[in-house]
A = this chain, B = another copy of it.
């Protein structure tokens, strides 16, 4: 809620569009300004530099993303249900926003190491949500006692992320949201056949 200034959001939204349509390396500040309908210099009244646009973009979008997911999860009882909602909502939100999906899955990963480190900071918010689900699952007995928190987190995030990336790279040739239940099953039961 820090930034109510309409131009702040205008510029971030413009950045998403320009990056999605032109690629990270072709997203010049002047192009973003033009898309936002402001002068180049105006960008610098709201952002420290180009990197700041990108980090802010990720913070804003990921913030909203996490908030929405947490809302959905809060209404669920079991870890399994929470996990399902996480996956379902994650897929739904990205499926609903083509540009954002391209930007987060493909383009922003081309950024400089330093920027990626700052993006990872933001990502920690998401991973915390995952962690809470895993901890809940272990407490309720739904998940194995000997489950390693970090590995479980990596497995859950890795599976979801790889699925979304494949979907984006295949240019949405399959329906992402429909996969939610299968991905959920895979994470809970693994590849193995139930005993």
List residues 113-151 of chain A with CB under 8 A from any CB of chain B. 113, 116-117, 120, 134, 137, 141-145, 147-148, 150-151
CB nearest neighbor in B for A148 = B182
Judge if A39 is at the interface, Cβ distance under 8 Å: no
CB nearest neighbor in B for A25 = B112
CA distance in complex: A150, B188 (Å):
17
Report the stretch among A49-57, A60-68, A155-163 that lies at the interface: A155-163
Within the complex, which residue of B25, B152, B162 is in contact with A155, where a contact is CB–CB below 8 Å? B162
CA distance in complex: A147, B191 (Å):
7
List residues 97-118 of chain A with CB under 8 A from any CB of chain B. 106-107, 109-113, 116-117
Within the complex, which residue of B24, B116, B163, B182 is in contact with A158, where a contact is CB–CB below 8 Å? B163
CB nearest neighbor in B for A157 = B162
Q: Contact between B112 and A109 (Cβ–Cβ < 8 Å)?
A: no
B residues within 8 A CB of A189? 144, 189-190, 192
CB nearest neighbor in B for A117 = B169
Q: List 5 A-B contacts (CB under 8 A).
A: A137-B191, A187-B191, A188-B191, A190-B192, A194-B195
Judge if A38 is at the interface, Cβ distance under 8 Å: no
Shortest C-beta distance, A193 to chain B (Å), equals: 5
B residues within 8 A CB of A194? 144, 195
Q: Contact between B143 and A154 (Cβ–Cβ < 8 Å)?
A: no
Judge if A183 is at the interface, Cβ distance under 8 Å: yes
